[in-house]
Amino acid sequence: GNSVTQMEGPVTLSEEAFLTINCTYTATGYPSLFWYVQYPGEGLQLLLKATKADDKGSNKGFEATYRKETTSFHLEKGSVQVSDSAVYFCALGGSTLGRLYFGRGTQLTVWP
Amino acid sequence: SAVISQKPSRDICQRGTSLTIQCQVDSQVTMMFWYRQQPGQSLTLIATANQGSEATYESGFVIDKFPISRPNLTFSTLTVSNMSPEDSSIYLCSVEELEGNYGYTFGSGTRLTVV
């Protein structure tokens, strides 16, 4: 079946620290992979995506590389800011799957 | 990317009543999805709505509780019926965009509190 396993949170970091949130997946076919962010009291926003193996998605200093050999799509940022505090969701989808499959979400809190 | 207008943004409802949530998309889309996000949890798919056919419900969700309409390619509604406090959640609609920049776009969500 299709599923996403996301590292447990919450994650608490100091400003300018390095961030990694692990995400692995199980999927049939050739899915696309996504990271969504949900700021407090808001809906879901697409942070970045990758549609095929070895693609790197990037946005706002965040990066993630679609690794088919390790079935992973880990989210990284070199220097987090207080404004990055939010919940981050890893997800897989694609036209062969139709819907999105979400990980459990990781709460990130960044302290000044 | 498609723009989705979801209404209402929030509501407080009495138990036993029903609430209808609307999603309007600014372009034609084949598939629309309805999700529920319970407090502190991830998103759970309720159903997939295709225009001109019955919605397809996920395990644990039934049409009598969550009736869905999809009258055209730009609009859908989800009704939460006979509400109880356990229905207090954020409800989100989403579309899959196959044209241009591929991906999934979400409405801003409806925060429902049942008292």
* A34–B104 CB contact, under 8 Å: yes
Chain B: closest CA distance from residue A86 (Å): 12
Chain A: closest CA distance from residue B62 (Å): 18
* B33–A95 CB contact, under 8 Å: no
* A49–B108 CB contact, under 8 Å: no
Pick the residue from chain A with its C-alpha nearest to B107: A43
Joined together, the tokens standing for residue B78 give 């989800």
> If 0-12 CB within 10 Å is exposed, 13-18 middle and 19+ buried, where does residue A66 land?
buried
Q: What is the pLDDT of residues B97-110, one digit of tens each?
A: 877 778 899 999 99
Closest CA to A101 of A5, A10, A9: A5
What is the Cα–Cα distance from B104 to B2, expressed in whole angstroms? 9
pLDDT reading at A13 higher than 90: yes
Asked if B102 reaches chain A (Cβ–Cβ under 8 Å), the answer is: yes
What is the Cα–Cα distance from A33 to A99, expressed in whole angstroms? 12
B78 forms beta bridges with: B21, B68
Q: How many CB atoms lie within 10 A of CB A84?
A: 20
- Residue % of chain B over a pLDDT of 70: 100
What is the Cα–Cα distance from A110 to A1, expressed in whole angstroms? 35
* B33–A99 CB contact, under 8 Å: yes
**Which chain B positions have a beta carbon within 8 Å of A91's beta carbon?**
104
Q: How confident is the model at residue A47 (pLDDT cuts 50, 70, 90)?
A: very high
- Residue % of chain A over a pLDDT of 90: 84
Asked if A51 reaches chain B (Cβ–Cβ under 8 Å), the answer is: yes
Whole-number pLDDT of residue A77 = 98
pLDDT reading at B13 higher than 90: yes
**Which chain B positions have a beta carbon within 8 Å of A104's beta carbon?**
41-42
Asked if A34 reaches chain B (Cβ–Cβ under 8 Å), the answer is: yes
Q: How confident is the model at residue A112 (pLDDT cuts 50, 70, 90)?
A: very high
Convert A17-56 to b/e letters by CB count within 10 Å (16 or more is b).
eebebbbbbebeeebbbbbbbbeeeebbebbbbbeeeeee
Joined together, the tokens standing for residue B10 give 């929030």
